[in-house]
Amino acid sequence: MRAHMIILQGDTVKQAMVQQSHTVKAFTSELVALMSDVLRMGGLAEAMIADMATAFGNGDHELARKVIKNDKEIDELEGRLEREIMRLLALRQPVAQDLRGIISALKVSNDLERIGDLAKNVCKRLLVMESEPSQTGKASVERMSRAVRLQLQTVLDAYSTENAEEAIKVWLHDEEIDEHYNSMFREVLTYMMEDPRLISTGAHLLFIAK
């Protein structure tokens, strides 16, 4: 009888171990899928920045409208990510590194959604600008957008590979974009002072640069 009970207990332990293994594998797959969705959002945000810069540089209103429309896809993906994160927190009750990873995904997705909003807002301004910006203004926006895209690409690579050193580099190199902004601010302000007719367009440019 005792031997039979030991066998039953052994079977129960094996079943529990198998169940635990399946749970761990399922949770790991869910975390990988979460990161994949964040990176997909990042790719969409990169594309919106690139299209925004092209639309602005070429005065392409059709492309600007496309950027505005594409922002909805990022919004929907962020909503899906938030629902999945809430589900994981409630059902998996993650701790330590897993918890930090999930919270990071939530914060990163919020920032990426904001990037999409800003690209959309730039394109909205392009559609209502009363006159074409100067070539200098266009070049300044294009320089800034290239720097921003490079920062975003680098930080997404760092996120996907969990490379903290590369992420810190992005953080420290943000001053380059600040310098672009300060330079553009001075240029646009000079144009507005020299020709009052450019005040409206100049104001849009300053908001775009910011």
pTM of the model: 0.81
CA distance 44 to 38: 10
pLDDT digits (tens, 9 = 90+) for 27-70: 778 888 888 999 999 999 999 999 999 999 898 999 999 999 99
CA distance 89 to 95: 9
CA distance 89 to 85: 6
CB-based contacts of 180, cutoff 8 Å, min separation 6:
140, 143, 144, 147
pLDDT digits (tens, 9 = 90+) for 119-152: 999 999 999 887 777 777 788 888 889 999 999 9
